[in-house]
Structure 1
Protein backbone atom coordinates (compact mmCIF):
# COMPACT_ATOMS: atom_id res chain seq x y z
CA UNK A 1 0.00 0.00 0.00
CA UNK A 2 1.38 3.42 -0.91
CA UNK A 3 1.69 6.26 1.59
CA UNK A 4 -1.11 8.11 -0.23
CA UNK A 5 -3.56 5.26 0.31
CA UNK A 6 -2.99 4.76 4.03
CA UNK A 7 -6.22 4.98 6.10
CA UNK A 8 -4.81 7.89 8.12
CA UNK A 9 -5.61 11.60 8.00
CA UNK A 10 -3.07 13.60 6.00
CA UNK A 11 -1.79 16.77 7.58
CA UNK A 12 1.47 18.57 6.94
CA UNK A 13 5.00 17.64 5.89
CA UNK A 14 8.37 19.14 6.73
CA UNK A 15 11.66 18.22 5.08
CA UNK A 16 14.71 18.28 7.33
CA UNK A 17 18.16 19.38 6.11
CA UNK A 18 19.10 15.68 5.95
CA UNK A 19 16.37 15.19 3.33
CA UNK A 20 14.16 13.22 5.73
CA UNK A 21 10.49 14.14 5.32
CA UNK A 22 8.28 14.00 8.39
CA UNK A 23 4.49 14.00 8.49
CA UNK A 24 2.53 15.62 11.32
CA UNK A 25 -0.93 16.81 12.26
CA UNK A 26 -1.17 20.40 13.51
CA UNK A 27 -4.37 21.01 15.46
CA UNK A 28 -5.38 23.88 17.70
CA UNK A 29 -3.52 27.00 18.78
CA UNK A 30 -1.68 28.04 21.90
CA UNK A 31 1.35 26.59 23.72
CA UNK A 32 2.89 23.76 21.69
CA UNK A 33 2.59 20.10 22.72
CA UNK A 34 4.47 17.56 20.58
CA UNK A 35 2.97 14.07 20.69
CA UNK A 36 5.45 11.20 20.26
CA UNK A 37 4.02 7.72 19.70
CA UNK A 38 5.49 4.32 20.54
CA UNK A 39 7.23 1.77 18.35
CA UNK A 40 4.69 -1.01 17.86
CA UNK A 41 4.26 -2.32 14.28
CA UNK A 42 2.03 0.00 12.30
CA UNK A 43 2.08 2.80 14.86
CA UNK A 44 1.34 6.41 13.95
CA UNK A 45 0.64 9.57 15.87
CA UNK A 46 -3.01 9.43 14.88
CA UNK A 47 -3.62 5.83 15.92
CA UNK A 48 -1.94 6.39 19.29
CA UNK A 49 -3.54 9.67 20.29
CA UNK A 50 -6.75 10.32 18.34
CA UNK A 51 -8.84 9.96 21.50
CA UNK A 52 -6.82 12.57 23.38
CA UNK A 53 -5.86 15.38 21.02
CA UNK A 54 -9.36 16.92 20.57
CA UNK A 55 -9.60 17.59 24.32
CA UNK A 56 -6.22 19.35 24.27
CA UNK A 57 -7.35 21.42 21.27
CA UNK A 58 -10.46 22.51 23.14
CA UNK A 59 -8.32 23.47 26.16
CA UNK A 60 -6.22 25.90 24.12
CA UNK A 61 -3.08 24.02 23.04
CA UNK A 62 -1.38 23.61 19.70
CA UNK A 63 -1.00 19.88 19.15
CA UNK A 64 1.75 18.68 16.85
CA UNK A 65 1.11 14.98 16.38
CA UNK A 66 4.26 13.62 14.77
CA UNK A 67 4.73 10.43 12.79
CA UNK A 68 8.22 9.30 13.75
CA UNK A 69 10.49 8.33 10.84
CA UNK A 70 9.74 4.74 9.89
CA UNK A 71 6.10 5.13 10.91
CA UNK A 72 2.79 6.56 9.70
CA UNK A 73 3.14 8.85 6.68
CA UNK A 74 6.72 9.91 7.45
CA UNK A 75 9.69 8.72 5.40
CA UNK A 76 10.84 5.16 6.08
CA UNK A 77 14.46 4.91 4.91
CA UNK A 78 15.99 1.43 4.86
CA UNK A 79 19.61 2.63 5.02
CA UNK A 80 19.72 4.15 8.52
CA UNK A 81 19.94 2.84 12.06
CA UNK A 82 16.74 3.56 13.95
CA UNK A 83 18.53 4.23 17.23
CA UNK A 84 17.76 6.88 19.83
CA UNK A 85 20.27 9.36 18.39
CA UNK A 86 18.52 9.14 14.99
CA UNK A 87 15.07 9.79 16.48
CA UNK A 88 16.30 12.64 18.71
CA UNK A 89 18.01 14.28 15.73
CA UNK A 90 14.76 14.02 13.76
CA UNK A 91 12.80 15.58 16.62
CA UNK A 92 15.37 18.35 17.01
CA UNK A 93 15.15 19.04 13.28
CA UNK A 94 11.35 19.11 13.51
CA UNK A 95 11.40 21.63 16.38
CA UNK A 96 13.92 23.77 14.47
CA UNK A 97 11.92 23.63 11.23
CA UNK A 98 8.77 24.84 12.96
CA UNK A 99 10.79 27.47 14.87
CA UNK A 100 9.41 26.43 18.25
CA UNK A 101 11.32 28.07 21.12
CA UNK A 102 10.02 25.89 23.96
CA UNK A 103 7.68 22.91 23.88
CA UNK A 104 6.02 20.27 26.00
CA UNK A 105 6.96 16.77 24.89
CA UNK A 106 4.37 14.06 25.41
CA UNK A 107 5.68 10.57 24.73
CA UNK A 108 4.51 6.97 25.01
CA UNK A 109 7.01 4.07 25.14
CA UNK A 110 9.66 4.78 22.46
CA UNK A 111 8.22 8.29 22.26
CA UNK A 112 8.89 8.69 25.97
CA UNK A 113 12.51 7.62 25.48
CA UNK A 114 12.87 10.16 22.66
CA UNK A 115 11.39 12.86 24.91
CA UNK A 116 13.92 12.02 27.63
CA UNK A 117 16.77 11.97 25.10
CA UNK A 118 15.76 15.35 23.65
CA UNK A 119 15.49 16.88 27.12
CA UNK A 120 18.95 15.65 28.08
CA UNK A 121 20.41 17.01 24.85
CA UNK A 122 18.60 20.35 24.72
CA UNK A 123 17.06 21.12 28.12
CA UNK A 124 16.46 24.76 27.21
CA UNK A 125 13.97 23.71 24.51
CA UNK A 126 11.74 21.54 26.74
CA UNK A 127 9.30 23.17 29.14
CA UNK A 128 7.57 20.04 30.49
CA UNK A 129 7.47 16.30 29.96
CA UNK A 130 4.46 14.00 29.95
CA UNK A 131 5.54 10.36 29.84
CA UNK A 132 3.51 7.17 29.48
CA UNK A 133 5.50 4.02 30.25
CA UNK A 134 8.61 5.53 28.66
CA UNK A 135 11.48 3.49 27.32
CA UNK A 136 15.09 4.32 27.99
CA UNK A 137 15.27 3.41 31.68
CA UNK A 138 16.22 -0.28 31.38
CA UNK A 139 18.85 -2.34 29.60
CA UNK A 140 17.79 -3.58 26.16
CA UNK A 141 17.89 -7.16 27.43
CA UNK A 142 15.32 -6.33 30.11
CA UNK A 143 12.80 -5.15 27.54
CA UNK A 144 13.24 -8.26 25.42
CA UNK A 145 12.41 -10.41 28.44
CA UNK A 146 8.97 -8.80 28.67
CA UNK A 147 6.12 -11.00 27.46
CA UNK A 148 4.62 -8.33 25.23
CA UNK A 149 7.84 -7.61 23.37
CA UNK A 150 8.76 -11.29 23.02
CA UNK A 151 5.39 -12.12 21.50
CA UNK A 152 5.35 -8.99 19.33
CA UNK A 153 8.75 -9.87 17.87
CA UNK A 154 7.57 -13.45 17.29
CA UNK A 155 4.41 -12.39 15.45
CA UNK A 156 6.21 -9.66 13.47
CA UNK A 157 8.89 -12.15 12.44
CA UNK A 158 6.37 -14.42 10.69
CA UNK A 159 5.99 -11.99 7.82
CA UNK A 160 3.53 -9.28 6.72
CA UNK A 161 0.98 -8.50 9.41
CA UNK A 162 -2.68 -8.55 8.52
CA UNK A 163 -5.55 -7.44 10.72
CA UNK A 164 -5.63 -10.68 12.73
CA UNK A 165 -1.89 -10.58 13.43
CA UNK A 166 -2.27 -6.95 14.47
CA UNK A 167 -5.11 -7.95 16.79
CA UNK A 168 -2.77 -10.41 18.53
CA UNK A 169 -0.15 -7.70 19.05
CA UNK A 170 -2.57 -4.95 20.07
CA UNK A 171 -4.34 -7.23 22.55
CA UNK A 172 -1.06 -7.36 24.47
CA UNK A 173 -1.01 -3.56 24.76
CA UNK A 174 -4.21 -3.44 26.77
CA UNK A 175 -5.34 -4.94 30.07
CA UNK A 176 -8.82 -5.36 28.59
CA UNK A 177 -8.63 -5.84 24.84
CA UNK A 178 -12.38 -6.27 24.36
CA UNK A 179 -12.69 -2.66 23.22
CA UNK A 180 -10.16 -2.87 20.38
CA UNK A 181 -11.61 -1.04 17.40
CA UNK A 182 -11.48 -2.65 13.97
CA UNK A 183 -10.56 0.71 12.46
CA UNK A 184 -7.47 0.90 14.67
CA UNK A 185 -6.36 -2.58 13.62
CA UNK A 186 -6.89 -1.71 9.95
CA UNK A 187 -4.93 1.55 10.28
CA UNK A 188 -1.97 -0.17 11.87
CA UNK A 189 -1.98 -3.21 9.58
CA UNK A 190 -1.91 -0.90 6.56
CA UNK A 191 1.08 1.02 7.93
CA UNK A 192 2.95 -2.12 9.04
CA UNK A 193 3.40 -3.45 5.51
CA UNK A 194 5.11 -0.18 4.47
CA UNK A 195 7.74 -0.28 7.22
CA UNK A 196 11.39 -1.14 6.46
CA UNK A 197 12.81 -4.49 7.49
CA UNK A 198 15.61 -2.88 9.52
CA UNK A 199 13.30 -0.72 11.64
CA UNK A 200 13.13 -2.92 14.71
CA UNK A 201 16.46 -4.72 14.36
CA UNK A 202 18.37 -1.41 14.54
CA UNK A 203 16.19 0.20 17.23
CA UNK A 204 18.74 0.66 20.02
CA UNK A 205 17.82 2.83 23.00
CA UNK A 206 20.38 3.30 25.78
CA UNK A 207 19.56 3.18 29.47
CA UNK A 208 19.43 6.83 30.57
CA UNK A 209 18.74 6.14 34.25
CA UNK A 210 22.07 7.55 35.45
CA UNK A 211 21.37 10.90 33.77
CA UNK A 212 17.82 11.47 35.00
CA UNK A 213 19.09 13.83 37.72
CA UNK A 214 20.03 16.27 34.95
CA UNK A 215 16.39 16.81 34.00
CA UNK A 216 15.14 19.88 35.82
CA UNK A 217 11.80 20.44 34.07
CA UNK A 218 8.54 19.18 35.60
CA UNK A 219 7.59 15.61 34.65
CA UNK A 220 4.14 14.02 34.78
CA UNK A 221 4.21 10.29 34.25
CA UNK A 222 1.73 7.43 33.92
CA UNK A 223 2.30 3.68 34.10
CA UNK A 224 -0.04 0.72 34.07
CA UNK A 225 0.87 -1.94 36.61
CA UNK A 226 -0.16 -4.63 34.09
CA UNK A 227 2.20 -3.35 31.38
CA UNK A 228 3.62 -6.30 29.39
CA UNK A 229 6.09 -4.18 27.39
CA UNK A 230 7.90 -1.82 29.76
CA UNK A 231 8.54 -2.83 33.40
CA UNK A 232 6.43 -0.60 35.70
CA UNK A 233 9.43 -0.37 38.04
CA UNK A 234 10.79 2.22 35.62
CA UNK A 235 8.55 4.75 37.36
CA UNK A 236 10.55 4.32 40.57
CA UNK A 237 13.77 5.04 38.67
CA UNK A 238 12.43 8.29 37.24
CA UNK A 239 11.03 9.36 40.60
CA UNK A 240 14.36 8.65 42.28
CA UNK A 241 16.40 10.43 39.61
CA UNK A 242 14.44 13.39 38.28
CA UNK A 243 13.84 16.04 40.97
CA UNK A 244 10.52 17.35 39.60
CA UNK A 245 8.77 14.11 38.64
CA UNK A 246 5.42 12.71 39.71
CA UNK A 247 3.78 9.49 38.53
CA UNK A 248 0.31 7.96 38.50
CA UNK A 249 0.36 4.18 38.75
CA UNK A 250 -2.85 2.61 37.47
CA UNK A 251 -3.92 -0.96 38.13
CA UNK A 252 -5.89 -2.97 35.56
CA UNK A 253 -4.02 -1.02 32.93
CA UNK A 254 -1.55 -2.14 30.29
CA UNK A 255 0.82 -0.21 28.04
CA UNK A 256 -1.67 2.33 26.70
CA UNK A 257 -2.75 4.51 29.62
CA UNK A 258 -4.04 7.21 27.27
CA UNK A 259 -6.47 4.72 25.73
CA UNK A 260 -7.53 2.59 28.70
CA UNK A 261 -7.93 5.55 31.09
CA UNK A 262 -8.60 8.25 28.53
CA UNK A 263 -10.63 10.67 30.61
CA UNK A 264 -8.32 10.45 33.63
CA UNK A 265 -5.28 10.89 31.39
CA UNK A 266 -6.72 13.90 29.58
CA UNK A 267 -7.91 15.60 32.76
CA UNK A 268 -4.67 15.03 34.65
CA UNK A 269 -2.51 16.24 31.76
CA UNK A 270 -4.50 19.43 31.28
CA UNK A 271 -4.29 20.22 34.99
CA UNK A 272 -0.51 19.67 34.85
CA UNK A 273 -0.14 21.92 31.80
CA UNK A 274 -2.21 24.65 33.41
CA UNK A 275 -0.74 24.57 36.89
CA UNK A 276 2.54 22.62 36.71
Structure 2
Protein backbone atom coordinates (compact mmCIF):
# COMPACT_ATOMS: atom_id res chain seq x y z
CA UNK A 1 0.00 0.00 0.00
CA UNK A 2 1.21 3.51 -0.81
CA UNK A 3 2.37 5.68 2.08
CA UNK A 4 -0.71 7.88 1.54
CA UNK A 5 -3.55 5.40 0.95
CA UNK A 6 -6.55 7.75 1.13
CA UNK A 7 -8.02 10.75 -0.66
CA UNK A 8 -10.27 13.52 0.56
CA UNK A 9 -11.91 16.50 -1.16
CA UNK A 10 -11.27 19.75 0.70
CA UNK A 11 -12.79 22.93 -0.75
CA UNK A 12 -13.03 21.23 -4.13
CA UNK A 13 -9.42 19.98 -4.19
CA UNK A 14 -8.41 16.33 -3.87
CA UNK A 15 -5.85 15.78 -1.13
CA UNK A 16 -3.91 12.53 -0.76
CA UNK A 17 -3.44 11.72 2.91
CA UNK A 18 -2.72 9.17 5.62
CA UNK A 19 -4.63 9.02 8.92
CA UNK A 20 -3.28 6.26 11.17
CA UNK A 21 -3.07 5.55 14.87
CA UNK A 22 -4.97 6.56 17.98
CA UNK A 23 -4.65 9.32 20.52
CA UNK A 24 -4.07 13.07 20.30
CA UNK A 25 -3.64 14.08 16.63
CA UNK A 26 -0.30 15.10 15.13
CA UNK A 27 -0.24 16.66 11.65
CA UNK A 28 2.89 16.47 9.49
CA UNK A 29 3.41 19.09 6.76
CA UNK A 30 6.20 18.57 4.23
CA UNK A 31 8.39 21.09 2.43
CA UNK A 32 9.70 21.73 -1.07
CA UNK A 33 11.08 20.36 -3.35
CA UNK A 34 9.40 17.44 -1.67
CA UNK A 35 6.21 15.70 -0.60
CA UNK A 36 5.13 13.35 2.19
CA UNK A 37 7.80 10.82 1.18
CA UNK A 38 10.22 12.81 3.33
CA UNK A 39 8.40 11.58 6.48
CA UNK A 40 8.55 7.85 5.63
CA UNK A 41 11.23 7.09 8.24
CA UNK A 42 9.56 9.15 10.97
CA UNK A 43 5.76 8.92 10.80
CA UNK A 44 5.38 5.14 11.33
CA UNK A 45 7.35 5.37 14.58
CA UNK A 46 5.19 8.23 15.84
CA UNK A 47 2.08 6.19 15.01
CA UNK A 48 3.52 3.14 16.77
CA UNK A 49 4.21 5.23 19.88
CA UNK A 50 0.47 5.74 20.35
CA UNK A 51 -0.43 8.86 18.41
CA UNK A 52 -2.97 9.59 15.70
CA UNK A 53 -0.90 10.92 12.81
CA UNK A 54 -2.19 12.78 9.75
CA UNK A 55 0.27 13.09 6.88
CA UNK A 56 -0.69 14.65 3.55
CA UNK A 57 0.61 15.99 0.28
CA UNK A 58 -0.03 19.68 -0.20
CA UNK A 59 -2.18 20.39 -3.28
CA UNK A 60 0.20 20.78 -6.21
CA UNK A 61 2.66 18.33 -4.65
CA UNK A 62 3.13 14.56 -4.64
CA UNK A 63 -0.05 12.56 -5.17
CA UNK A 64 -2.48 15.37 -4.36
CA UNK A 65 -4.34 17.20 -7.10
CA UNK A 66 -2.47 19.71 -9.23
CA UNK A 67 -5.36 22.09 -9.70
CA UNK A 68 -5.69 24.34 -12.73
CA UNK A 69 -6.29 28.01 -11.96
CA UNK A 70 -6.21 27.45 -8.21
CA UNK A 71 -4.09 29.35 -5.71
CA UNK A 72 -1.55 27.03 -4.06
CA UNK A 73 0.38 29.74 -2.23
CA UNK A 74 1.37 29.44 1.41
CA UNK A 75 -1.64 31.57 2.36
CA UNK A 76 -4.04 29.35 0.41
CA UNK A 77 -2.41 26.20 1.79
CA UNK A 78 -2.99 27.55 5.30
CA UNK A 79 -6.72 27.84 4.58
CA UNK A 80 -6.72 24.31 3.15
CA UNK A 81 -5.07 23.01 6.32
CA UNK A 82 -8.00 24.37 8.31
CA UNK A 83 -10.37 22.70 5.84
CA UNK A 84 -8.52 19.39 6.16
CA UNK A 85 -8.74 19.46 9.95
CA UNK A 86 -12.44 20.31 9.75
CA UNK A 87 -13.06 17.45 7.31
CA UNK A 88 -11.31 15.02 9.68
CA UNK A 89 -13.19 16.44 12.68
CA UNK A 90 -9.97 17.52 14.39
CA UNK A 91 -10.44 20.56 16.57
CA UNK A 92 -6.90 20.78 17.98
CA UNK A 93 -3.64 19.18 16.89
CA UNK A 94 0.10 19.25 17.24
CA UNK A 95 1.69 20.46 14.00
CA UNK A 96 5.10 19.24 12.82
CA UNK A 97 6.14 21.21 9.75
CA UNK A 98 9.22 21.42 7.54
CA UNK A 99 10.56 24.08 5.16
CA UNK A 100 7.67 25.78 3.31
CA UNK A 101 5.35 23.67 5.44
CA UNK A 102 6.84 25.55 8.37
CA UNK A 103 5.51 28.79 6.92
CA UNK A 104 2.07 27.18 6.77
CA UNK A 105 2.48 26.04 10.37
CA UNK A 106 3.52 29.50 11.53
CA UNK A 107 0.64 31.20 9.74
CA UNK A 108 -1.89 28.66 11.02
CA UNK A 109 -0.65 29.03 14.61
CA UNK A 110 -0.93 32.82 14.37
CA UNK A 111 -4.39 32.75 12.78
CA UNK A 112 -5.86 29.85 14.76
CA UNK A 113 -3.89 29.47 18.00
CA UNK A 114 -6.78 27.70 19.69
CA UNK A 115 -6.39 24.83 17.21
CA UNK A 116 -2.65 24.25 17.75
CA UNK A 117 -1.70 22.21 20.80
CA UNK A 118 2.01 22.34 20.02
CA UNK A 119 4.08 23.55 17.07
CA UNK A 120 7.35 22.05 15.84
CA UNK A 121 9.02 23.78 12.92
CA UNK A 122 11.93 22.07 11.21
CA UNK A 123 14.44 23.94 9.02
CA UNK A 124 11.60 26.28 8.13
CA UNK A 125 11.49 29.26 5.85
CA UNK A 126 10.93 32.41 7.89
CA UNK A 127 11.18 36.18 7.78
CA UNK A 128 13.09 37.13 4.60
CA UNK A 129 15.02 33.84 4.37
CA UNK A 130 13.53 32.83 1.01
CA UNK A 131 13.70 32.50 -1.92
CA UNK A 132 17.37 32.29 -2.83
CA UNK A 133 18.78 34.68 -5.41
CA UNK A 134 18.79 31.85 -7.95
CA UNK A 135 15.10 31.07 -7.49
CA UNK A 136 14.22 34.77 -7.40
CA UNK A 137 15.79 35.27 -10.82
CA UNK A 138 13.95 32.25 -12.22
CA UNK A 139 10.62 33.47 -10.77
CA UNK A 140 11.06 37.02 -12.04
CA UNK A 141 12.59 36.37 -15.45
CA UNK A 142 12.56 32.72 -16.57
CA UNK A 143 9.58 30.86 -15.11
CA UNK A 144 7.81 30.21 -18.41
CA UNK A 145 11.09 29.11 -20.00
CA UNK A 146 11.78 26.66 -17.19
CA UNK A 147 8.30 25.18 -17.51
CA UNK A 148 9.27 24.03 -21.01
CA UNK A 149 12.42 22.17 -19.97
CA UNK A 150 12.82 18.64 -21.35
CA UNK A 151 12.85 15.82 -18.80
CA UNK A 152 16.62 15.27 -18.68
CA UNK A 153 17.37 18.96 -18.14
CA UNK A 154 14.69 19.22 -15.46
CA UNK A 155 15.98 16.12 -13.68
CA UNK A 156 19.52 17.52 -13.69
CA UNK A 157 18.39 20.81 -12.10
CA UNK A 158 16.23 19.18 -9.46
CA UNK A 159 18.89 16.59 -8.66
CA UNK A 160 21.41 19.34 -7.96
CA UNK A 161 18.88 21.03 -5.70
CA UNK A 162 18.10 17.81 -3.84
CA UNK A 163 21.79 17.03 -3.33
CA UNK A 164 22.07 20.36 -1.50
CA UNK A 165 19.39 19.33 1.00
CA UNK A 166 21.48 16.63 2.69
CA UNK A 167 24.82 16.74 4.44
CA UNK A 168 26.54 14.12 2.27
CA UNK A 169 25.10 15.31 -1.03
CA UNK A 170 25.08 12.75 -3.82
CA UNK A 171 26.15 10.01 -1.42
CA UNK A 172 22.75 10.26 0.32
CA UNK A 173 20.53 11.62 -2.44
CA UNK A 174 20.98 8.72 -4.83
CA UNK A 175 19.40 5.49 -6.04
CA UNK A 176 15.82 4.78 -5.00
CA UNK A 177 15.70 7.79 -2.69
CA UNK A 178 16.55 10.22 -5.49
CA UNK A 179 14.12 8.45 -7.84
CA UNK A 180 11.35 8.83 -5.28
CA UNK A 181 11.92 12.57 -4.92
CA UNK A 182 11.97 12.99 -8.70
CA UNK A 183 8.95 10.73 -9.25
CA UNK A 184 6.15 13.35 -9.03
CA UNK A 185 7.74 15.26 -11.89
CA UNK A 186 8.32 12.52 -14.46
CA UNK A 187 5.86 13.99 -16.99
CA UNK A 188 5.21 17.30 -18.70
CA UNK A 189 2.41 17.97 -16.21
CA UNK A 190 4.70 17.14 -13.31
CA UNK A 191 7.43 19.48 -14.53
CA UNK A 192 5.03 22.37 -15.13
CA UNK A 193 3.37 21.75 -11.77
CA UNK A 194 6.69 22.03 -9.96
CA UNK A 195 7.15 25.58 -11.22
CA UNK A 196 3.47 26.57 -11.21
CA UNK A 197 2.47 25.24 -7.79
CA UNK A 198 5.77 25.34 -5.89
CA UNK A 199 8.40 27.72 -7.31
CA UNK A 200 5.93 30.44 -8.31
CA UNK A 201 4.95 30.80 -4.65
CA UNK A 202 8.43 31.10 -3.17
CA UNK A 203 7.77 34.52 -1.66
CA UNK A 204 8.92 35.82 1.70
CA UNK A 205 5.92 38.09 2.09
CA UNK A 206 4.03 35.12 3.49
CA UNK A 207 6.41 34.95 6.44
CA UNK A 208 7.40 38.62 6.69
CA UNK A 209 3.79 39.73 7.11
CA UNK A 210 3.41 37.65 10.29
CA UNK A 211 6.76 38.63 11.84
CA UNK A 212 5.18 40.96 14.39
CA UNK A 213 2.61 38.33 15.38
CA UNK A 214 5.05 35.56 16.31
CA UNK A 215 5.42 37.08 19.76
CA UNK A 216 1.72 36.38 20.39
CA UNK A 217 2.17 32.60 20.25
CA UNK A 218 1.59 30.92 23.59
CA UNK A 219 1.58 27.22 22.70
CA UNK A 220 4.79 25.19 23.19
CA UNK A 221 7.11 25.69 20.19
CA UNK A 222 10.11 23.53 19.37
CA UNK A 223 12.48 24.55 16.58
CA UNK A 224 14.56 21.75 15.08
CA UNK A 225 17.42 22.54 12.69
CA UNK A 226 20.19 20.82 10.79
CA UNK A 227 23.48 22.46 11.68
CA UNK A 228 24.68 22.26 8.07
CA UNK A 229 21.52 23.57 6.38
CA UNK A 230 22.67 25.24 3.14
CA UNK A 231 19.28 26.80 2.38
CA UNK A 232 18.04 28.12 5.71
CA UNK A 233 20.97 29.40 7.78
CA UNK A 234 21.01 28.60 11.48
CA UNK A 235 20.83 32.33 12.27
CA UNK A 236 17.14 32.26 11.33
CA UNK A 237 16.53 29.44 13.82
CA UNK A 238 18.14 31.50 16.54
CA UNK A 239 16.04 34.55 15.64
CA UNK A 240 12.83 32.49 15.75
CA UNK A 241 13.86 31.13 19.14
CA UNK A 242 14.40 34.64 20.47
CA UNK A 243 11.15 36.09 19.10
CA UNK A 244 8.68 33.28 19.85
CA UNK A 245 7.95 33.18 23.59
CA UNK A 246 9.30 30.09 25.35
CA UNK A 247 10.46 28.51 22.07
CA UNK A 248 13.17 25.89 22.36
CA UNK A 249 15.86 25.22 19.74
CA UNK A 250 17.57 21.90 19.06
CA UNK A 251 20.39 21.80 16.50
CA UNK A 252 21.30 18.44 14.96
CA UNK A 253 25.01 18.18 14.10
CA UNK A 254 25.98 16.67 10.77
CA UNK A 255 22.56 17.26 9.22
CA UNK A 256 21.39 19.46 6.39
CA UNK A 257 18.09 20.98 5.31
CA UNK A 258 16.35 17.61 4.91
CA UNK A 259 17.24 16.70 8.47
CA UNK A 260 14.80 13.76 8.39
CA UNK A 261 16.96 12.20 5.66
CA UNK A 262 20.25 12.80 7.46
CA UNK A 263 19.13 11.88 10.98
CA UNK A 264 15.68 10.21 10.99
CA UNK A 265 16.19 8.52 14.36
CA UNK A 266 17.12 11.76 16.09
CA UNK A 267 14.27 13.63 14.43
CA UNK A 268 11.82 10.95 15.56
CA UNK A 269 13.20 11.09 19.09
CA UNK A 270 12.88 14.88 19.24
CA UNK A 271 9.30 14.76 17.94
CA UNK A 272 8.24 12.10 20.42
CA UNK A 273 9.88 13.92 23.31
CA UNK A 274 8.13 17.14 22.33
CA UNK A 275 4.63 15.77 21.85
CA UNK A 276 4.70 13.75 25.07
CA UNK A 277 6.26 16.40 27.30
TM-score range, shorter chain: 0.7 to 0.9
Q: Which residue number in structure 1 is paired with residue 249 of structure 2?
A: 247
Q: Find the residue that maps to 2:160 and give its secondary structure.
A: helix
Q: Find the residue that maps to 2:31 and give its secondary structure.
A: coil
Q: Which residue number in structure 1 is paired with residue 217 of structure 2?
A: 215
Question: Which deviations, in whole Å up to 9, do the C-alpha atoms of 1:231-269 show, x marking residues without a partner?
Answer: 221112211111121011233321011221221111121
Q: Which residue number in structure 1 is paired with residue 81 of structure 2?
A: 91
Q: Which residue number in structure 1 is paired with residue 13 of structure 2?
A: 20
Gap regions ≥5 residues in structure 1: 1-6
Question: Is the 2:31–2:101 Cα contact (8 Å) retained in structure 1?
Answer: yes
Q: Which residue number in structure 2 is paired with residue 144 of structure 1?
A: 132
Distance 2:69 2:84 in 1: 20
Q: Which residue number in structure 2 is paired with residue 59 of structure 1?
A: 49
TM-score, normalised relative to structure 2: 0.85
Question: Which deviations, in whole Å up to 9, do the C-alpha atoms of 1:195-245 show, x marking residues without a partner?
Answer: 524222134333132221011110111112321212221112211111121
Distance 1:152 1:190 in 2: 22
1:167 aligns with 2:169: no
Counting matched residue pairs gives 261
Distance 1:213 1:160 in 2: 46
Task: Please say which of residues 211-220 and 247-256 is displaced more in the overlay.
Answer: 247-256
Q: How does 1:41-60 map to 2 (within 5 A)?
A: 43-45=34-36, 47-60=37-50
Q: Find the residue that maps to 1:201 and give its secondary structure.
A: helix
Q: CA RMSD in A?
A: 2.5
Q: 1:74 aligns with which of 37, 42, 64?
A: 64
TM-score, normalised relative to structure 1: 0.86
Give 1 or 2: higher helix fraction.
2
Distance 2:228 2:254 in 1: 6
Distance 1:190 1:122 in 2: 34
Q: 1:160 to 1:91 in 2, by over 3 A?
A: farther
How far did 1:160 drift?
4.7
How far did 1:30 drift?
1.5
Q: Which residue number in structure 2 is paired with residue 3 of structure 1?
A: none
